[in-house]
Amino acid sequence: MPPRKSSPVGAHVFVAGGLTTKGLAYAERIGAEAVQVFVANPRGWAIPADDVDGDEQFRSACAERRISVFVHAPYLCNFGSPTELTRERSAAAVRHSMMRGARIGASGVVVHAGSAVDAGHRDLALKMMRELLLPLLDDTEGLPLLLIEPTAGGGQALAATVSDLAPLFDALDWHPRLGVCFDTCHAFAAGHDVASPGGMRRTLNELARTVGRDRLHLVHANDSKDPLASGRDRHTNIGAGTIGMDPFAEVFRHPAIRGVPVIVETPGDVTRHRDELATLRKLRDR
C-alpha cells in the first residue's frame, strides 16, 4: 500500500459476526480510511480458532480500498504484572494478535503499556517486560510493529506521560520493531494539558524528542469526559469533552503526524461516527 501524504482517519470497529461482513461493512458506512479491530475477546484470554479464508478476504478488501489496518491487543495484557500467569497469557495474546495481524494486513498491534500493580516494583516490572517482550519482538520478524500505548496514569502505570516512554524503551533496547500509539484522552488524563492553546503541539514535540518522530505510527483521537490529570480513561466524542475541538486541529498540523493514521475510539452509532470522521477530515484538510 503506497504511503499517504495526509493522515488517513478512521475508527475502531467491532467485528463480532465477521471481519468483513461486520467490521469492514461498518467502516465503509462511516467513510473510514483506517480501522482498528480486535482479533480476540478484548476482556478475556481465550484465543479463537483460525479463520484463514475470512482473514484473507478482509486483508484483500482493505488493501483494495486502501484502508489502513491496526489490531488492538486484549485489555488484560500486562507484561509488568507480579502474577506469572498474567505475564504468560499476555505474551500468548500479543503473539496471537501479531500473527493474525499479519494475516489481515495490519501495520501494527497496539498494546497498553501496563502497570507495575504494586508501588515500588517499577524496576522489577520493566525487567519482567523485557524478559518477555524482547524475545517476542525478535521471534516475530516480518510481522506488524508492536505499538506501546501510554495509559491514563492510574495504578502504578509503567508509561503514562510521554517522558515515561524513555525508560520503557530503554528496557526494550529501543528495538527497531517497537513504536508508539498516542492517545489524546490518555495524555490529558495523565497530566499533559493538550486542551490549552498550543498544548497538543508541545506534547507531540516532547513525544518526538523522547522516542523520535519515526516511532509514532498511530494516534487515538479521543476527547475526555474528565478533567486534566484525572487518571481516568473515559472517552467521549471529539468536541464534546474537556479537551475540545481546536486541539485536534493541532494534531494534524504537527509534522510528526504527517501520514500517521488517526483513529477514534468513541461512543456512537453509524451517524455519529460518520459525522465525527467528517469533522476530522475538515480539521485535517483546512
Kindly list the catalytic residues: 43, 72, 75, 112, 149, 183, 186, 220, 233, 235, 265
Asked whether the beta carbons of 129 and 79 are under 8 A apart, the reply is yes
The angle that helices 52-65 and 84-103 make with each other, rounded to 10 degrees, is 60
d(C-alpha 284, C-alpha 286), whole Å:
6
DSSP H helical segments within the chain, as ranges? 25-30, 52-65, 84-103, 122-139, 165-171, 184-190, 199-211, 246-253, 270-285
Asked whether the beta carbons of 54 and 19 are under 8 A apart, the reply is yes
d(C-alpha 229, C-alpha 186), whole Å:
9
Grid cell locating 202: 508541545
Grid cell locating 130: 523485557
- Strands (DSSP E) contained in 200-251 are 216-220, 223-224, 235-236
How many helices (H) and strands (E) the chain has is answered by 9, 10
Gyration radius (Cα) of the chain, Å? 18
According to DSSP, residue 75 is labeled: T
| Amino acid code (one letter) for 242 | T
d(C-alpha 55, C-alpha 112), whole Å:
24
